[in-house]
Amino acid sequence: MKNKEKLLSLDKISIVYNEDVAESYKVACHTQDILKTRGINSVTNSSKNFAQDVSAVITIGGDGTILRAARFYATKNIPILGINLGRLGFLAQVNTNEIEQAVDKLIQGKYCIENRMMLSSLDDKVLALNDIVIKGDTFSRTAKLFLSINDKVVCDYLADGIIISTPTGSTAYTLSAGGPVISPDLEAMVIVPICPHTLTSRPLVIPAYETVKITSCKTCNKLKLSSDGQDTIDINAEEFITIKKSETTAKLIILEKEDNEFYSILRKKLQWGVAPER
């Protein structure tokens, strides 16, 4: 498919562990031992201190660890493989009992690399693989948010906030807020209001080449913008916040294994379309 490739160097792998996740460092050391027995050079570092001169990355933690690594390594075109220690691990490819098999598949070329669309904002100072979320500066109050697309006014929201998501992020916060699930093979943006105070507010799916602008009113002093739910910035509420498709893509390593395509993962991890047991 057009967004997939198969080009991976194993010259030096960075093993990124999340120090806030129990057992993360222990699993990182175990992974490094496995790589060493295969003759692969690697370094171990925390998710707060990324290594620069590497050819690939293995993250240890949950999806949050992958998202943080993706924002750092996307501009360097370095692919990422996730080992899951979190609850859901929708983006992660490997469980802790599969690490040896996963390393062998990398060596054997049994994988592909998916280029995942990202969002950018604030003159490309902000990158997001999942979503960019805008809320008012007071979490106990709703915010009035004005949405424009391609400089054309679309609607006003009185809501707790607004989510602009990629297809990758459509299975995360966007889904919880009532948005649609979108295949990561598509290039689109999803706009979802958070708890809107009107029954007519519905999610929008728009082409990825369009430009989204959001602003607020004078009664709201500041807006809070967060990237992938991790990095938060305060912004003047009367300034336009522009969000668009980034020229940078995140590179995720997808292993060859049974039931590892998007719809199978959707069914397995989110119990999508699974009838309740009697």
278 within a domain of the structure (yes/no): no
Distance CA 255, CA 236 (A): 44
Same domain flag for 46 and 155? no
The pLDDT assigned to 140 comes to 62
pLDDT digits (tens, 9 = 90+) for 81-113: 999 997 777 899 899 999 999 999 999 999 999
35 within a domain of the structure (yes/no): yes
The pLDDT assigned to 276 comes to 61
124 within a domain of the structure (yes/no): yes
Poorest-confidence range of 51-55, 251-255, 267-271? Answer: 267-271
Determine phi and psi for 71, rounding to 5 degrees. Answer: -65, -30
Same domain flag for 136 and 102? no
The helix-helix angle for 24-37 and 99-108 (nearest 10°) equals 40
The pLDDT assigned to 205 comes to 97
Same domain flag for 236 and 162? yes
pLDDT digits (tens, 9 = 90+) for 6-47: 678 899 999 999 998 889 999 999 999 999 999 999 999 999
Same domain flag for 8 and 26? yes
Selected catalytic residue, list 20, 63, 124, 160? 63
Output the CA–CA distances (angstroms, integers) from residue 275 to 51, 229, 260, 271, in the order listed: 45, 31, 21, 9
Same domain flag for 180 and 206? yes
201 within a domain of the structure (yes/no): yes
In this structure, the number of other CB atoms found within 10 A of the CB of residue 208 comes to 15
179 within a domain of the structure (yes/no): yes
As for how many domains the chain has, the answer is 2
139 within a domain of the structure (yes/no): yes
Query: Has 228 been annotated as catalytic?
Result: no
Same domain flag for 126 and 55? no
Domain CATH code at residue 24: 3.40.50.10330
Same domain flag for 92 and 134? no
Share of the chain above pLDDT 90, in %: 72
Same domain flag for 266 and 218? no
Per-residue DSSP letter, 88: -
13 within a domain of the structure (yes/no): yes
Same domain flag for 106 and 53? yes
Range of the domain at 182: 119-246
Distance CA 16, CA 18 (A): 7
